Amino acid sequence: MYLTGDNVSKEKLLKIAGRCKLPVWPDAENPFLHQGSLDDMPESLCVVSDELTESRLETMFQLPITVLIDAQASLKSIADFVNQQKNHTFSDGLGFLLTGPVIYHYDVALIFSKALQKRQGFSDLRFESIHLALHESLVNGLIHGNLHLSSKLRQNATEYTSYSDLVRERLNTPAYARKAISIAAQWNRSKMKITVRDEGMGYSLAEILKQTPSIRATSGRGLRIIAGAADSCTIDNYGKEISLSFLREKSQNLDAMPSIDTVSSTETVPHEDLSQAKVLIVEDDKSNQALLGGLLSQLGIKQIEIAEDGIQGLNKVLTFEPDLIILDIGMPKLNGYEVLKRLKSTPYTHTIPVLIQTASDTREARDQTFKSGASDFITKPINPLEFFARVRIHLENKMLVNRLQKRLKQIHNELSTAQSMQMGLLPHTERLHNIQRRYGLDIASYFEPSDKLGGDFWQVIELDRQRIGFYLCDFSGHGLASALNTFRMHTLIFQMHEKIKQPSDFLTVLNHHLYALLQRGQFATFFFGVYNLSDETLTYSGAAAPSPFHWDGKKWRILTTRGLPLGISQSAIYENKTIPFTTGNRLFVYSDALTETVNMQNEQMSVKELMNFVKESSTQMSVREGLTGIMNRFFTFAPPPVNDDITAVLIESQRKDVK
């Protein structure tokens, strides 16, 4: 990599070059961009500028440069960033290191996205996704990172004004203004990775223990927007680094395909076996019937039916069930356009591909053909090679669709079976009735996966005659991977439950096993409580689970559940807490979907708002009526479908009813 300058002092530029150990282009005597020939620019060029405007940024990014750096950034930041980018060239990388004022005043995300699109040629739809993800990443890095401001400071109009003043003040304070943000984009034939780093404080250890930084964070919607725009998203380095991945579009990989000249003329492309395909010819001319039948036979097609007019053709569609219809336009009784209209208006036949063959090759004829719903068009006299290609592609597509439909049906059946198995992990009604009789606990529950399978489940464990445990587990993500993890967890707990003494010890052992089993990035939040019938107490421990609510007969209060999620760190520590749980006491345990779901107004329900729902809906009712009221109010706030698994459990002590 070479270094050059733009509106920066020669002394400063050479100092940066020395610190980064870079040669200067064109040379040390003329170390500025405008003194070199753009035609001779090296493939990997770092440009340092001391005066950046929007037009200058746009100009710079259109040049064949690899890295653009704001000279106002600290020398250490510049050297670190250059060392990270040294191995990249114009053809596989692009990056910048800009200070806060530049990021704040100009639409750098738009400029950078345009530069990427020019180099890679991706679609406008992909451009919009990249622009959105970059914009939100830069806002997150600038506001929450470098300026260290919280979104909670701008919840109303008055606070927003003060917030804006505070932003301007910090952008004029050198300690904040010289902090830089870097965007580095690297790509290959299959994907592109964009990394955004800020120089802020990041999340503190206390914040991480309270809530692990993730795209599902309860504060700030930006991270969820970023994750939604990118194909994948990760957050590292205490929240100071956001990595976005985008798969390259097929049109961008055309250069990887061999040219026609490089393919031997003797090579043949493997094709599907068409011997089982069924083709219906709707044609009134005998000679054309014979011609089309002979051509189809050369393709290996053995099941061929012929109809001599439109009415007969429609009847044979129902009895023969063809995979392809070859249809003439000019026919007696019912012409080809009328046949097409009826085929496409009937659900049973509208997906059958139709190849029109006609002597008319006018633009009007083609337009009318495709408007009527035809799949393809071929003119008479028929060119055999063209006919073979068109017939084959439609039959192969139809066979592919048939296989996909068969596979989807199989997957649907398998998922339904898996869903039944997962529902079997939950306590059944008869068991809950037995628990109510033996331990005096009345339990009502609600479970709804966001898809057929989910990452939530809950269960009760009868430990001995005086103690009963209950837990709620929520694996990261949802769908098949999370569901498989629930089966793993259920098996682990089943093997260990007889050894349970204290909830915290139980979580420690579970965490040790899951750390070895789960892939990195997967984890589970977990709440585990043990009710002791003899002294009417509840001892509990949590692993980053949402805080449960406790009703002591007089008021509702929030219980604290600290501890890292299971499966993240082998050194995680969990603690026990014990509270009275006497007759009439209630406990509400729930998964994070109740406080992380965004409604139509882009709002989330806070923990306090949820507790008010619980208080108003369930205090004076039975647990079943109460839980129904809670969920009704939640779905009024955020109508289904909800994009996360939902679990809610309401428990009441009724010790006086124990027999």
| Tens-place pLDDT, residues 524-549 | 999 999 999 999 999 999 999 999 99
**163 HSE (CA, 13 A, CB side):** 15
Mean pLDDT of 167-188: 91
Q: What is the DSSP letter of 497?
A: G
Q: Give me 640's structure tokens.
A: 């289904």
Q: In this structure, which topology does domain 278-401 adopt according to CATH?
A: Rossmann fold (3.40.50)
Sheet architecture: strand order including 93-99: 2-6, 45-49, 67-70, 93-99, 180-187, 191-198, 241-247, 232-236
β-partners of residue 196 are 183, 242
Decide which of 154 and 200 is more confident. 200
- pLDDT for 451 beyond 90: no
Q: Where are the domains of the chain?
A: 2-248, 278-401, 424-657
Strands 93-99 and 67-70: what pairing? parallel
Q: In this structure, which topology does domain 424-657 adopt according to CATH?
A: Phosphatase 2c; domain 1 (3.60.40)
Residue 10 CA from chain centroid, whole number: 47
| Tens-place pLDDT, residues 76-126 | 999 999 999 988 888 889 999 999 999 999 999 999 999 998 888 888 878
Which has the minimum average pLDDT: 264-268, 325-329, 446-450? 264-268
How sure is the predictor about 263, in pLDDT bands with cuts at 50, 70 and 90?
very low
Residue 520 CA from chain centroid, whole number: 17
pTM of the model: 0.45
β-partners of residue 180 are 99
What does the pLDDT read at residue 656? Answer: 60
| Residue of 195, 200, 244, 180 whose CA lies nearest to 84 | 195
Sheet architecture: strand order including 646-653: 441-448, 646-653, 586-590, 549-551, 556-558
What does the pLDDT read at residue 90? Answer: 86
CA dihedral 377, 378, 384, 386 (to 10 degrees): -50
Mean pLDDT of 629-641: 90
The type of residue at 539 is T
Distance, CA of 515 to CA of 21 (rounded, Å): 42
| Tens-place pLDDT, residues 494-527 | 877 677 789 999 999 999 988 888 887 789 999 9
| Tens-place pLDDT, residues 375-418 | 888 887 777 778 888 898 899 888 888 888 888 788 777 777 77
Mean pLDDT value across the chain? 84
Which has the minimum average pLDDT: 107-121, 238-252, 595-609? 238-252
What does the pLDDT read at residue 202? Answer: 81
Q: Which CATH number does the domain 2-248 belong to among 3.40.50.150, 3.30.565.10, 2.40.50.150, 3.30.200.20?
A: 3.30.565.10
What does the pLDDT read at residue 14? Answer: 93
| Residue of 43, 23, 27, 46 whose CA lies nearest to 35 | 27
What does the pLDDT read at residue 153? Answer: 66
- pLDDT for 657 beyond 60: no
